[in-house]
Amino acid sequence: MLIKNISVPIFTGKHNQIQKNTHNQTPINQGLTQDIVTFKGRNNLSAEEKYQRALDIVDCFSKDQIQNMDDFDQKHLDGIQYGLKSFENLSFPQIYFILSNMGEITIPVVRDCSGMCPACYVNGRPKERNKDAISRMDFEDFKNLTNDIKEITHRLNFNCVEKSTQKSIQNTYGTGYYTLPSSALFYDSDGKDVWLQDEKGTIHEFPELNKMLYDATGLKGLFDTAGWSPKNSVVQKRIENIVKYYSNPEHEKEIDQINISVNTYHGIMQKANEYKNKGDIESYNRMKKAYINNIVNAMYTCTPLVEKDCYQILIKAVDDRQGEGFKDYNKDAIFNLIKEIISTLHIRYMSDIENNNYKYAKTEEDVINLVSKHIKKFSPLITSLSPSTRDNIFATIDDDYDYIKDQKNVSYDDVTKQKLSSILIDVNGKVYLQNDHEVFKTDICLNFKNKDKEAKQIYPLPDKRTINTKEKIFN
């Protein structure tokens, strides 16, 4: 095993032949074949010379010897990012910080949501009109980032993201639950709105974007939706293509979960309950029917996935201990809503048969079988909610998390070792560290086209202090 904080070896122009992996090198410039021994004693190496030095250091060791980038003195690997656009102007320790916390990664390529759920802890909202803040990532930025992650892995001659995922799994052993590493292309948005348009006007949908990230990291993707109107033909076609893509066994490896989120506090249901409490039952029923139709349409569209492991229906409600004031959002409310959803789904399948449309079912027995399969996909009831940043009408029950924002004296390690820490890369390239409760700013901003533009505010509000990844301190 190699020793930590190794000193820089002295190489000759013939290159060291011990356990070399010369196939790993990706020359940027043929002029790099100069005598490396001339580097000795020099402090001001050019970018090209730093790149060649970093490659030579990595090539000193076999792939089996390299267990973790912590085994190297990272300052000597500075330069290995040479020519990679998204990592330009970053130091290697900053790049390593991203890669080593990528057990879970969130790259919200779009940050708009029309759900308006009052209990949304990330405050998902539509982009404010007449505001300069951007809410969608540039496709070329996303493409460069995924390509650069792959190239860094190639140059380092080992999969640093894979090491990160192993660490993520190990960190969950003592938490009482187990989680698989994953990636998400959404944060405060709905999966149905995930798409990017390139400079030529071509639209790139979720399956393509998710595959790009999967190929770069090996992390399976997540897709969440709270349903959509059957009248929205653009979204309908988009989801049909997603379902068709992941119905193919060849693509199953790229997706972790495709979730339909059902909850009593969706923005439509909140509005419906407002009508009910005012005595306007007609408007209440109209709004509730609209929400149920959206969910049923999502379930119906996902029928080809109903036997796939990735398909799941998440059911959420307010904990009963919230009190009488939350009866419209509690366990009884969600179960009553689910009964109506199941009944409406049954009617949807039966109407197909009655209209001689045998797309999914030919008999009533087929219908009952399909509905039963959907029911088996319902998750256990989720009642842990976070406060809304909009009106704070919800609160988390029995939250025993030790918030760092409440601690004056915390270190870099205190922050980075929080359970389920993961990387969040915003649409403008700014990098955050997040977990289930808090968000932390870092000193990293990727070299995106939109790096100088403001993005929508991140929620929960990031801690005012910054993680300094260059110096490994928490200011």
What does the pLDDT read at residue 124? 80
Lowest mean pLDDT of 126-135, 162-171, 416-425, name the range. Answer: 162-171
What is the band of 432 on the pLDDT scale with cuts at 50, 70, 90?
very high
What does the pLDDT read at residue 470? 85
Number of separate domains in the chain: 2
Which among 220, 209, 101, 77 is positioned nearest to 152, based on CA atoms? 77
Read off the pLDDT of each residue in 421-449 and give the average, rounded to a whole number.
Answer: 91
HEC readout, the chain: CCCCCCCCCCCCCCCCCCCCCHHHCCCCCHHHHCCHHHHCCCCCCCHHHHHHHHHHHHCCCCCCCCCCHHHCCHHHHCCCCCCCHHHCCCCHHHHHHHHHCCCEEECCCECCCCCCCCCCCCCCCCCCCCCCCECECCHHHHHHHHHHHHHHHHHHCCCHHHHHHHHHHHCCHHHCCCCCCEEECCCCCCHHHCEEECCCCCEEEHHHHHHHHHHHHCCCEEEEECCCCCCCHHHHHHHHHHHHHHHCHHHHHHEEEEEEEEECCCHHHHHHHHHHHCCCHHHHHHHHHHHHHHHHHHHHHCHHHCCCCCEEEEEECCCHHHCHHHHHHCHHHHHHHHHHHHHHHHHHHHHHHHCCCCCCCCCHHHHHHHHHHHHHCECCCECCCCCCCCCCCCCCCCCCCCCHHHCCCCCHHHHHCCCCCEEEECCCCEEEEECCCCEEEEEEECCCCCCCCCECCCCCCCEEEEEECCCCEEC
Which among 202, 212, 207 is positioned nearest to 191, based on CA atoms? 207
Which of 405, 434, 467 is the C-terminal boundary of a domain? Answer: 405
What does the pLDDT read at residue 159? 72
**Quick one: 238 and 148 in the same domain?**
yes
By DSSP bridging, strand 195-197 and strand 255-263 are unpaired
Instruction: Give yes or no for residue 225 having a pLDDT over 60.
Output: yes
Could you tell me if residue 153 is inside a domain?
Answer: yes
Instruction: Give yes or no for residue 175 having a pLDDT over 80.
Output: no
What is the band of 163 on the pLDDT scale with cuts at 50, 70, 90?
low
**Quick one: 55 and 129 in the same domain?**
no
Could you tell me if residue 7 is inside a domain?
Answer: no
192, two tokens: 């149905």
Read off the pLDDT of each residue in 177-196 and give the average, rounded to a whole number.
Answer: 83
Which of 353, 375, 405 is the C-terminal boundary of a domain? Answer: 405
User: Which is higher by pLDDT, 446 or 53?
Assistant: 446
Lowest mean pLDDT of 204-213, 265-274, 298-307, name the range. Answer: 265-274
CA–CA separation, 296 vs 233, rounded Å?
A: 16
**Quick one: 58 and 127 in the same domain?**
no
Quote the domain boundaries for residue 69.
22-83
Could you tell me if residue 91 is inside a domain?
Answer: no
Could you tell me if residue 67 is inside a domain?
Answer: yes
Whether residue 76 contacts residue 8, with contact meaning beta carbons closer than 8 Å, is answered with yes
**Quick one: 60 and 102 in the same domain?**
no
**Quick one: 71 and 186 in the same domain?**
no
Could you tell me if residue 449 is inside a domain?
Answer: no
What does the pLDDT read at residue 121? 75
Which of 58, 83, 108 is the C-terminal boundary of a domain? Answer: 83
**Quick one: 226 and 282 in the same domain?**
yes
Environment class of residue 199 by beta-carbon count within 10 Å: exposed (0-12), middle (13-18) or buried (19+)? exposed
Could you tell me if residue 106 is inside a domain?
Answer: yes
Instruction: Give yes or no for residue 110 having a pLDDT over 80.
Output: yes
Lowest mean pLDDT of 86-100, 154-168, 205-219, 346-360, name the range. Answer: 154-168
State pLDDT tens for residues 37-86. 444 445 688 888 888 888 888 887 666 666 666 666 777 788 989 999 99
**Quick one: 146 and 185 in the same domain?**
yes
**Quick one: 118 and 221 in the same domain?**
yes
What does the pLDDT read at residue 422? 84
Could you tell me if residue 55 is inside a domain?
Answer: yes
By DSSP bridging, strand 463-468 and strand 473-474 are antiparallel
Cβ neighbours for 355, distance < 8 A, ≥ 6 positions apart: none
Could you tell me if residue 468 is inside a domain?
Answer: no
**Quick one: 249 and 397 in the same domain?**
yes
Lowest mean pLDDT of 239-253, 401-415, 434-448, name the range. Answer: 401-415
What is the band of 419 on the pLDDT scale with cuts at 50, 70, 90?
low
**Quick one: 79 and 102 in the same domain?**
no
What does the pLDDT read at residue 32? 40
Instruction: Give yes or no for residue 1 having a pLDDT over 80.
Output: no
**Quick one: 60 and 30 in the same domain?**
yes
What does the pLDDT read at residue 459? 85
What is the band of 438 on the pLDDT scale with cuts at 50, 70, 90?
confident
Which among 4, 149, 19, 26 is positioned nearest to 75, based on CA atoms? 4
**Quick one: 72 and 124 in the same domain?**
no
